[in-house]
Amino acid sequence: MHKFVLTWISNVLDLHPPVVALAIAQRAKFEGWLKIELAGQALGAGARDITLEASLPRTASKADLAFSFDDQRFFVELKTPNTNWRLPGVLSLHRPITNNIESIVFDGNKLSKAGVNGIVAFVMFPVPPGDRRWLAYYERIIKELDAPSDPDNHTAQSSIAIDPKNNADVVIVSIPVQPAQGFRDA
């Protein structure tokens, strides 16, 4: 299912380049907007019982999105971590990427502890065009979540025109999170 989520997020970004460019140029997170658009993609793909801010079983926490597909329930946590790489056309602000990475890991662990079919998905931005240094962050997240490391299967990198002269890449990641030992999907 993580591949569907990866594709759906890619579709959302492809459908709205001016909005995404605006967010990238200002290093503004866009998680709330992405959640609504992702719900629309899930609906269009035939998902049922779509829930925004879905309660997680066995916890007092919520996931950003939940849906049913092929008689299974999936819970998705979304993040839009901004990086601190400097790029022309992008506002120069200091953004602590370490805090963003920690929040992704926290959300993944939250899903795992709830014992659900979980997916942590995020859009990392801005990334210099063609740059692969983001793989170090990906590997750190994978290691901390004890998830399979397969960037070819879990990531996509695409370029967005910020203005007529400048581009920046976004990296889309969708990682399945396994229920903690002793739990089964609720």
**Model confidence over 81-107: pLDDT tens digits?**
999 999 999 999 876 788 999 999 999
The encoded tokens of residue 12 equal: 């959302």
For 142-172, how does the pLDDT look when each residue is reduced to its tens digit (9 = 90+)?
Answer: 999 999 889 999 999 999 999 999 999 999 9
pLDDT surpassing 70 at residue 182: no
- Residue 183's pLDDT is 54
Q: What is the per-residue DSSP string for 120-165? A: EEEEEEEE-TT--TTHHHHHHHHHHHT----HHHHEEEEEEESSSS
pLDDT surpassing 60 at residue 186: no
For 27-45, how does the pLDDT look when each residue is reduced to its tens digit (9 = 90+)?
Answer: 999 999 999 999 999 999 9
Q: Residue 32, by phi and psi: left (phi above 0), alpha (psi -120 to 50) or beta?
A: alpha
- Residue 51's pLDDT is 98
Residues paired with 77 in a beta bridge: 120
